[in-house]
Structure 1
Amino acid sequence: MNRTTSMSHHLYTFTLVLDRSPTDDEIDALFAAGCDDAAFGVDGGLPVAEFDRDAATIADAIATAVRAVESVGLTALRLIDQDLVTLADIAQRVGQSRESIRRYVTGERGPGGFPPPVNPARDGTLFYRWSEVAPWVGRHLGISVPQVDPSLVVANLVLQARQHRDRVPHMAALSDLLAA
């Protein structure tokens, strides 16, 4: 989410999931490190930092927030993910029934080509990426729905990849793939 704050900057709102809750001393250090635009707490049992950051882009906002959080010894694990959705979530966002959406998914209704789930082999609840579903909905159903900023999707993937980088043989090959 963003709101314009000046000619070249915007106010971006996002939530980082942290590896642990900061201590009182770390909270003081976080504010000194530039996190005076964040609220630290717990959301759904997860330690989080909720930011309203003024920056030129969402990527700049997230990167500076992560660096500031990590400068005091905390680790930013990921963003609260608004991209993963269920059929029920899609139905709510689109204003249709879950059954209607299920029929688009199976091709019983609509033009076909609905984006695949991210966990197709799993029994139970399937998850989809809103960043893939929203453009399909707009293109094929003519329904205007909020889009996910691709920067949020990429930032979340980068934060998650950082957690595993020391355990991946020849991580440089994958880093180079991202840069290519």
Structure 2
Amino acid sequence: MATMRRQQFSLVVDEPVDESAQTALRESCPDATIRSTPDRPGAVIAFRREAPTLTEAIVSAVRDLDAVGVRTAGVRDEDFVSIGAVAARVGRSPEAVRLWAVGRTGAGTFPAPVEVRLGTAYYRWSEIATWLRERMGIAVADPEPVLTAVNLALRLRALAPRVPRMDAIRALIAA
């Protein structure tokens, strides 16, 4: 029998969670806490779920949300980071990290930003962590690949109705 562990994670929903869905969710998921997001119409639902693995915990939570009519957009994975967040994670100043990013110091080939919003560049921590280990010799932990995989699966699920020959893509994943 698998050992149960408390898994903690947050699921993001893009649509407002109406009162009936909130009630149903509270009844079916006492391990969930719904938080509204002031900057967008959806919500973040934090879970503290007993499960043998993080994967099983997240999949069961997504299914629970589906059952009450709440569509999961993603799992919060903290993969999008700013220069300031990178600096905080590695114990360096934001200016030191900025200089790595522009190539003035460091080992060069700093990963490119994936998005720029309101003048702030955002990077993928998964790419930065690899660069830090391989190019700078800075020991940082690998990001949790389960979170990235779940986000990819949820994006694929959202796109599936519009993709012709989705069966071929499913076969590719299974290969």
Q: TM-score, normalised by structure 2?
A: 0.82
Q: Residues 34-90 of structure 1, C-alpha deviation per residue, up to 9 Å, x if partnerless?
A: x12111231344322110111121111110000011111111111224101122221
Report the AA paired with residue 133 of structure 1.
Answer: I
Contact 2:2 2:52 in 1 (8 A): no
Deviates more, 1:67-76 or 1:157-166: 157-166
From 136, 158, 163, give the equivalent of 1:163.
158
CA shift for structure 1 position 127: 1.9
Show the counterpart of 1:3.
none
Report the AA paired with residue 155 of structure 1.
Answer: V
Show the counterpart of 1:153.
148
Show the counterpart of 2:69.
73
Show the counterpart of 2:12.
17
Instruction: Give SS of 2:35's match.
Output: strand
Q: Residues 117-148 of structure 1, C-alpha deviation per residue, up to 9 Å, x if partnerless?
A: 2248x994322111121232233334333442
CA shift for structure 1 position 32: 4.4
Contact 2:3 2:52 in 1 (8 A): yes
Contact 2:12 2:74 in 1 (8 A): yes
Q: Distance in 2 between matches of 1:123 and 1:21?
A: 28
Contact 2:11 2:46 in 1 (8 A): yes
Q: Distance in 2 between matches of 1:119 and 1:31?
A: 35
What is the RMSD of the two structures over their aligned residues, measured on CA atoms? Answer: 2.6
1:128 partnered with 2:86: no
List structure 1 runs of 4+ shifted beyond 6 angstroms.
none
Show the counterpart of 1:53.
49
Q: TM-score, normalised by structure 1?
A: 0.80
Q: Distance in 1 between matches of 2:80 and 2:132?
A: 16
From 21, 25, 32, give the equivalent of 1:38.
32
Q: Distance in 1 between matches of 2:37 and 2:132?
A: 30
Show the counterpart of 2:82.
86
Kindly tell me: are residues 113 and 166 of structure 1, through their superposed partners in 2, closer, same or farther at Cα, counting changes over 3 Å?
A: same
Gaps of 5+ in 2: none
Show the counterpart of 1:29.
24
